[in-house]
Amino acid sequence: MPSPSPATPALPISEHEDEIIAAVEANSVVVIIGETGSGKSTQLSQILHRRGYTRRGAIAVTQPRRVAAVSVSRRVAQELDVPIGDEVGYAIRFEDRTSERTCIKYLTDGVLLRESLSNPELKQYSVIILDEAHERSLNTDILLGLMKRLIKDRASDLKVLITSATLDGLKVSRFFSGCPVLNIPGTLFPVEKFYSTERPTNYIESSLRTAIDIHVKESPGDILIFVTGKDDIDKMVSKLEERIQNLEEGSCMDALVLPLHGSLPPELQVRVFSPAPPNCRRFIVATNVAETSLTVDGVVFVIDCGYVKQRQYNPTSGMYSLDVVQISRVQADQRAGRAGRTRPGKCYRLYPISIYEKEFLEATIPEIQRSSLAGSVLYLKSLNLPDINILKFDFLDPPSRESLEDALRQLYLIDAIDGSGQITDVGRIMAELPLEPSLSRTLIEANELGCLSQALTVAAVLSAEITMRSTKSKDMEGKRKRQELPDGSGWGDHIQLLQIFECWEQTGYDPKWCVDHDLQVRSMKFSKDVRKQLSQIIQKIAKGPTDVNSRNGRKSDPDYRKLRRALCIGYGNQLAERMLHHNGYHTVGYRSQLVQVHPSSVLESDEYGKYPMYVVYHELISTTRPYMRNICAVEQAWVEPILKKLEKLDINRLSGGSSSVKDSEPLDVEDKQVISPKKALDTKQSE
């Protein structure tokens, strides 16, 4: 592979090359702490490659975010002047751009976990870099525990590097029996911080005013504005453009407004990495991906609203909420730091200093303590580690016992583990599918029932997250287009998604059909691709016949009974029963609660007379009230066996028999709180 082009910038990490190599030579695990932008993600892999570490195997660099895996690998390929997918490649779920020649591989932490299922020793790698460990993603946390085991077996031929911008290095070092911690001093310039006297009632308006003020009054330098999500970015971008055009006083500079978020198409992402044209100020409106994952050069001013959108799971109710919550002090400092990379900068915090000091948490709560753990627990069970008791797995910060028990209950109800907590044959196949447990269980059942082709489509469409665009009242044209789409024949959203995909299939996958029906062409194409990949995987791993392309599903089963039954079994842990004297449902399971059908559901209109008695749901979300999203009508006879299982459920046996939860010593959970955001924005959440 060619050496780096001379244009490669000298980043702080490059000055410490010898020190890094010396530490890596002498130790199996090294922690590297360096400011965001110091070159950890892009340079470390290249340094190790130059020093011969790719002779015995490839270098894997994990990223918690898909967008970072793609963007950073492209950058490294560019610096080394090789095409992406050759020596430098990336692998994210449902997209693999690597080849036999790939020796520097960027991949999401989830993909590495999956690779370890078929190759538990990860022999293909000589170095594994867990990058962005400070993000504390669920999968990186699991990988930390796994690496600890792996280096015992591969002490002589595997190097593990853990890199982070803010992580408590000593804590990780202790976790890895005192491994060395290298600190790469940053070149941060001072950043002056300005606080608001009070919280603005409308943070978008306040950010806008601050941005325009900077543009008019301040010297050159790009402005990075943190907002909470894609909707707010869109709003902010259009308002900024409008106001810049209508500026009365004017600025002597031109302006360029750019969005930056995780689902931005790659061709738009690259724009934020190109420097500003001469005499032009860039306004980059970003989510928290710009905090540490993606480093944008040229920023001198930061506007920080102090909020972030966070998905949290409540194991007691089984409900997800997407809340706008206050950031932590660590996040606030990271955001401010973005202003001081090239010269002294300024950070405008749209909150008073008292909120920063007294209300913000010190650090963000790790994802493992705010996520459903069903997928992770199934993964750990499928590893067949001899001494594994899920409740005692070596976590850097253990999840709460409630979350682990919730995961065990869920897995039991969908047959992935048996009554004594042992993984079943079904569970093993489920673990191999790159899907959440409910969908993998559905596919396995569908294969048994002879409706695999339909189930594959449903799983693909749900995984590609095709969303029907929200029905805004003024968007009459969009509404009309959507009304022409199939309606699920009264059986709910899964069936509707299937019918939509099948209609598109019949047009020969015509993009115009998507446009005519107000569907995103990119998402539809992605779901087609995902379907193809899932078909290949299931053909490889499923036992018995697999019919991934049957075209006669509807004809032989006009009421979709087989598919709905497979869904009922797959979603056996996500079941709800209609309330007789109440306009809603109650969930069936460990703890029952009242829920409503989400307004976006095709069954919401209740055109078919009445809601079905039993439904399964894809997800429970809490916005203004608890809602079930994506529901499917199921039959009482299919529900009964699940109810029987529920009656038999014994959590003590599930969690490991005699060393049961109650008997075992308590988990060493430092912070067992169920996370409740201290303060949420009063703006209504958009999902």
Give the range of 41-49, 232-240, 275-283, 471-479 binding ligand ADP by CB under 6 A: 41-49
Give the nearer residue to ligand ADP in terms of CB position, either 74 or 239. 74
Q: Dihedrals φ, ψ of 431, to 5°?
A: -65, -25
- Paired strand residues for 558: none
Give the range of 38-46, 313-321, 350-358, 631-639 binding ligand ADP by CB under 6 A: 38-46
Q: Per-residue contact track with ligand ADP, 277 to 296, x per CB under 6 A? A: ------------------x-
Residue 97 binds ligand ADP (CB under 6 A): no
Candidates 8, 16, 20, 34: give the one binding ligand ADP (CB under 6 A). Answer: 34
Helix 374-382 crosses helix 437-449 at what angle (to 10 degrees)? 70
Q: Are 44 and 13 in contact (CB under 8 A)?
A: yes
Q: Dihedrals φ, ψ of 522, to 5°?
A: -60, -45
Candidates 74, 97, 154, 441: give the one binding ligand ADP (CB under 6 A). Answer: 74
Q: C-alpha distances in angstroms, 609 versus 483, 499, 551, 604?
A: 19, 21, 30, 11
Residue 164 binds ligand ADP (CB under 6 A): no
Nearest to 322 by CA among 287, 284, 281, 280: 287
Residue 73 binds ligand ADP (CB under 6 A): no
Residue 15 binds ligand ADP (CB under 6 A): no
Residue 335 binds ligand ADP (CB under 6 A): no
Strand, helix or coil for residue 494? helix
Cβ neighbourhood burial of 23 (10 Å; 0-12, 13-18, 19+): buried
Q: Dihedrals φ, ψ of 339, to 5°?
A: -85, -15
Nearest to 141 by CA among 159, 164, 123, 121: 164
- Paired strand residues for 106: 61, 90
Give the range of 57-65, 71-79, 221-229, 446-454 binding ligand ADP by CB under 6 A: 71-79
Residue 36 binds ligand ADP (CB under 6 A): yes
Give the range of 36-44, 142-150, 515-523, 640-648 binding ligand ADP by CB under 6 A: 36-44
Give the range of 70-78, 166-174, 400-408, 452-460 binding ligand ADP by CB under 6 A: 70-78
DSSP letter string, 84-143: BTTTEEEEETTEEE--TT--EEEEEHHHHHHHHHHSTT-TTEEEEEETTGGG--HHHHHH
Give the nearer residue to ligand ADP in terms of CB position, either 38 or 317. 38
Residue 366 binds ligand ADP (CB under 6 A): no
The first and second tokens of residue 382, run together, are: 């499928």
Give the nearer residue to ligand ADP in terms of CB position, either 76 or 461. 76
Give the range of 37-45, 59-67, 331-339, 462-470 binding ligand ADP by CB under 6 A: 37-45
Strand, helix or coil for residue 628? strand
Give the range of 69-77, 90-98, 381-389, 630-638 binding ligand ADP by CB under 6 A: 69-77
Candidates 40, 409, 517, 565: give the one binding ligand ADP (CB under 6 A). Answer: 40
How many Å separate Cα 188 from the centre of its chain?
A: 29
Residue 8 binds ligand ADP (CB under 6 A): no
Residue 37 binds ligand ADP (CB under 6 A): yes
Candidates 28, 41, 403, 496: give the one binding ligand ADP (CB under 6 A). Answer: 41
Candidates 15, 231, 234, 297: give the one binding ligand ADP (CB under 6 A). Answer: 297
Give the nearer residue to ligand ADP in terms of CB position, either 47 or 103. 47
Find the angle CA(117)-CA(123)-CA(127) to the nearest 5 degrees.
110
Candidates 63, 71, 98, 655: give the one binding ligand ADP (CB under 6 A). Answer: 71
The first and second tokens of residue 42, run together, are: 């892009």
Angstrom distance (rounded) from CA 138 to CA 327: 18
Residue 39 binds ligand ADP (CB under 6 A): yes
Q: How many residues bind ligand ADP (CB under 6 A)?
A: 17
What residues line the site for ligand ADP (CB under 6 A)? 11, 34, 36-43, 71-72, 74-75, 273, 295, 297
